[in-house]
Amino acid sequence: MARKLLIVESPAKAKTISKYLDNEFTVLASFGHVRDLPKKNGSIDVDNDFLPKYQLIAKNQKHVDEILAAAKKADTIFLASDQDREGEAIAWHITEILRDNNLCAGRYIARVTFNEITKPAILEAVAHPRQIDANLVDAQQARLTLDYLIGFNVSPLLWRKIKPGLSAGRVQSPALRLICEREDEIKKFVPEDYFGVHLFSHKERTKFRAKLIEHAGTKIETRTITTEQYAKDIVAGISGIEQAKIRKVSKKQKKKNPTAPFITSSLQIESSRQLGFATDRTMRIAQTLYEGVALGKESVGLITYMRTDSVQLSAIAIEEIREYITANFDERYLPAKANVYTSKSKNAQEAHEAIRPTSILRTPESVKAYLNADQFKLYELIWRRTLASQISSAVLDTTAIDFELGNTVFRANGVMVNFDGFMKVYQETFEDSVVNEDEEARLPELLEGEMVPVDSLDITAHQTEPKPRYTEASLVKALEELGIGRPSTYASIIATLKKREYVVMDKKRFVPTEIGAIVSLFLTNHLTKYVDLQFTANLEDTLDNIAIGKSAKLPTLHQFWDELHALVTEKQNISKMELTSEKLDENCPECGKALISRFGKYGRFIGCSGYPECNYMRKVDKDGNSEVVAPPEEVEGRVCPKDGGKLLIRSGKFGKFISCANYPKCKHIENMDTPEVENAVGCPECKKGKVIPKKGRFGVFYSCNNYPECKTIFKYEPISASCPECDYPVMMVHTTKTKGTQHICPKCKHSVKV
């Protein structure tokens, strides 16, 4: 009978690990977190040292019951959740649940961690257990509390002042700010013209081009020539010269070093650039590779833990990689000493490893048959990057040749790979970089003083461009460089921005929605500190310091809460108009008062500041274009049957309708008889209205235009035809692939094939 219980997070991991342990072990999964804060106010008691009021996660209740049942039969319990803050917190929560059920006394309970799911790693971890790290648990609780305090204090402010359903977050909001500020830069950017002058020449069969770098003793930079006439004047001054003299030939050799093995952020970046995977997709696939894949009769984790900011590799892994290089490559590809990398993150957990294959001997091709397409692509990327990190540097031969032509100097640059080194296995990709054709050219052998023919002189026109919008890869890179969030949070940050509809993707780039821009503007103007990039980064450092015992949790929370509470209280008095309106440098064409850009129920519009005395209004579309909204047309010869007011023809999201001019005091409303309505089927129930199409949350449906007096609804388009079974005067038309077109009775459901 099993007397030892080992608890991990996922069932896939449990399945793999159980094969490595003997029959004394029962391996169960907690299915992630087992307790969480209820999503309501009061879950953190701010008056009682921020005491969290945890409750069991309902969907995991059955898994907790299974763990408790197994714990009763065990004398040793190993808590083997992931080796990060969240994993440490899960282990602590499970211990608390065991204590609440009187299952701690008389049992040995310990924490075990491992960086990879292989048999040696698991046996080593079980042989060297430790106690739960209270500092890591405190750091996770502090992070959870900070997120809760912002979410449940700032978000309600957004609901009241802007729109219900909005949210703010500790790291989500600064990320949104980055996207919105980049969009503002793009909108405000004014392009500038500049011109380039090139010399085209050849030697024997090799053609090349050179770029103008000097004219009449003046150095020519990229944007020095700002007018086409200036460029033409330069060309005119040298156009009669048939040969250029080689003034200088410079040859250099430079090394290009391999890049470090993957950490979480660099994996997300390269996976996005090279494979086109979104960050959350990358992490889901990596999770399956880490937890274990069935390789025939064997189940094994293919990569090490995928949430890490350390670029180090274990000595055993390096030794295996170097042996693989020796066996499969020329001796030049193996450096004399192993390549060592240093993490750029000042808080990197150097006890962890970079993301690597658990064995470099498991080549992508050898496991391809056991992986799906996405798993294979990501595993191959990780395998190649890891292998390349321990290969020798590449050697590049660079050449720069200066050509003298009259009072001008042109330069041609070339680069050739002398030794490919690590580039034989892996090359990093770069986003939004301009390819410099001059640096990619293959140049012929030329000597100083030699003359070459002038084949042609060319003028090229260019325009400066704004910085591009963020992609998922470039946003992750920016967040990492600024110290906002941590590797494990980037995917969830991006997912939240999309889910809240603060951003949309256009050609795989982030574009802020109008509501996203308004939320960001509100936070930037009124809660500046909490979207300040440096403040957010410093807060991450504080959490890291709590995790290593350099800072205490409670002083951090007290200081944060005192400042946040005071600021939120102060901002309660701001009017919604002040938050969602912007005064324009334009006057109303009807009354002369200033126009205001406002955010209303149906989006952005421009209206007169003299409202309600002046009703001038323009609709604004998503591209910022506006269109004047015509004033409502008065219905002649009729008055409102309820209060005698004028009747007006208005436009709504379902088309035109008639309503009282005294709205909202009088809410009388009528449907309009458009040609479509006049030709519609008469309502078989009230005998007064017409059955017309309407749009609902689940698509188009058909209902009586005499609503709310008549609430008749049809699922499909009605036609004037009697049911042969019950004589109901209306049938519905419905077409499917399997049954074709049918007439269906709304009452008795009798159907007739057409």
Using CA atoms, how far apart are residues 556 and 564, in angstroms rounded to an integer? 12
* C-beta atoms surrounding 39 within 10 Å: 9
Q: Is 495 helix (H, G, I), strand (E, B) or coil?
A: helix
Instruction: Report residue 266 as tokens.
Output: 């660099």
Q: The tokens 């026109």 sit on which residue?
A: 461
Three-point CA angle 204, 210, 212, nearest 5°: 150
- Residues 18 and 27 sit within 8 Å (Cβ to Cβ): yes
Q: Which two tokens stand for residue 492?
A: 């969830």
Dist. CA 631–CA 612, nearest whole Å: 13
Structural tokens at position 580? 């969602």
Strand extents, DSSP E, 454-512: 456-463, 503-506, 509-512
d(CA 486, CA 493): 10
Q: Which residues pair with 45 in a beta bridge?
A: 51
CA distance 276 to 269: 10
Q: Is 702 helix (H, G, I), strand (E, B) or coil?
A: strand
Rounded to an integer, what distance in angstroms lies between the CA atom of residue 395 and that of residue 332? 11
Instruction: Scan for tokens 């020798």, then name that residue.
Output: 392
CA-wise closest residue to 634 among 654, 611, 658, 655: 658
DSSP state of 337: S
Question: Cα 581 vs. chain centroid, distance in angstroms?
Answer: 29
Report d(CA 56, CA 49) in Å as an integer: 22
The answer to whether the beta carbons of residues 291 and 13 sit under 8 Å apart is yes
Contact between 50 and 554 under an 8 Å Cβ cutoff? The reply is: yes
User: Which of 20, 148, 290, 305 is flagged as catalytic?
Assistant: 305
Q: Contact at 8 Å (CB) between 150 and 169?
A: yes
| CA–CA distance, 219 with 213 (Å, rounded to integer) | 6
> Is 470 assigned a catalytic role?
no
Among candidate residues 301, 291, 281, 280, the one with its CA nearest the CA of residue 9: 291
8 A C-beta contact, residue 103 and residue 71: yes
Alpha-carbon span 690 to 693, nearest angstrom: 10
What is the DSSP secondary structure assignment for residue 275, as one 8-state letter? I
Calculate Rg over the CA atoms of the chain.
Answer: 35
- Closest by CA to 75, choosing from 182, 136, 3, 181, is 3
Contact by Cβ (8 Å): 193, 461: yes
The answer for residues whose C-beta is within 8 angstroms of residue 254's C-beta and 6 or more apart is 395, 396, 398
Closest CA to 114 of 196, 21, 184, 189: 21
How distant, in Å, are the alpha carbons of 42, 379, 685, 724, 743 from that of 736? 52, 43, 28, 22, 12
Question: Looking at the DSSP assignment, which residues form a beta bridge with residue 650?
Answer: 657
CA dihedral 609, 611, 613, 618 (to 10 degrees): 90
Task: Look up tokens 């019951």; give the residue.
Answer: 65
Structure tokens at 532: 């300040």
Indicate the pairing of strand 76-79 with strand 4-8.
parallel
3-state secondary structure 534-591: HHHHHHHHHHHHHHCCCCCHHHHHHHHHHHHHHHHHHHCCCCHHHHHCEEEEEECCCC
Q: What angle do CA 418, 422, 425 make, to 5 degrees?
A: 115
Question: Would you name the residues annotated as active-site residues?
Answer: 305
